[in-house]
Chain A
Amino acid sequence: LAKTTQPISMDSYEGQEVNITCSHNNIATNDYITWYQQFPSQGPRFIIQGYKTKVTNEVASLFIPADRKSSTLSLPRVSLSDTAVYYCLVGDKIYNQGGKLIFGQGTELSVKP
């Protein structure tokens, strides 16, 4: 399972775009990149998943360069309610690692008014 490295914390202000980068140098050919969001005392919640290039949904965008050794989660125009911990996970999508998800320490995003 590929190890991931993210910044421990980030600060932002309401209305700004926030980019959180995750490094995964040992990503395997079959691995996908998935991001989760976790609010205090709640279970993590899926945000976005991708394999290469760019993926966008109603919540975020995920940018993956050609070498796939890193990825960037982009949150447009954040609000106070986006204050949370964001986790980057890398793993096999087909078998979903058999349910063996490995969470790193995540990035604690703090959005200020």
Chain B
Amino acid sequence: EAQVTQNPRYLITVTGKKLTVTCSQNMNHEYMSWYRQDPGLGLRQIYYSMNVEVTDKGDVPEGYKVSRKEKRNFPLILESPSPNQTSLYFCASSAPGQGKNTEAFFGQGTRLTVV
């Protein structure tokens, strides 16, 4: 089954304690990205990656890091989390294409609370 898997689904942490949210896809997609969703602000892209070792900033990259060492994995790293990073996070993957739908597949979400 085609899927994007995020872990953990829920996380409560303290300010300043480094954390990593993992994301893995099994569709051999080139593109992967991270979003955060906050009430009233919608879905905002944090980082995206067009392929292994190729990453770029989205609209709200401050306070986040990513890496793409393998095609299937795209972890999101918060080196020093702060309360304003409390949010619902989604990972997505997609692929270029011609002659077929090129939809993005999203993970189940990670609800992060930083206290």
Contact = CB atoms under 8 A, between A and B. Distances in A.
B81 interface: no
A41 to B, nearest CB: 6
Given A42-B108, A94-B98, A104-B42, A99 B31 contact: yes
Contacts of A93: 97-98, 102
Interface size class of A (residues with CB under 8 A): 20 to 34
Contacts of B94: 96, 99, 101
Nearest to B59: A102
Contact of A100 (B4, B58, B106, B107): B58
Contacts, number: 78
Interface stretch (A9-17, A20-28, A44-52, A70-78): A44-52
Contact of B42 (A32, A100, A106): A106
B115 interface: no
A74 B109 CA distance: 27
B95 interface: yes
Given A49-B101, A101-B92, A43 B50 contact: no
Contacts of A106: 42
Nearest to B33: A99
Main secondary structure of the interface of B (DSSP, over half): strand
Interface size class of B (residues with CB under 8 A): 20 to 34
Interface of B: 4, 30-33, 35, 42-45, 48-50, 56, 58, 88, 90, 92-98, 101-109, 111
26 contacts: A32-B102, A34-B102, A34-B103, A36-B103, A41-B88, A42-B108, A42-B109, A43-B4, A43-B107, A43-B108, A44-B43, A45-B106, A46-B101, A46-B104, A49-B101, A49-B102, A49-B103, A93-B98, A93-B102, A94-B96, A96-B96, A98-B48, A99-B33, A100-B58, A101-B45, A101-B104
User: What 9 A-B pairs are tightest by C-beta distance, nearest first?
Assistant: A43-B106, A99-B31, A46-B103, A103-B43, A99-B48, A98-B50, A96-B102, A43-B90, A99-B33
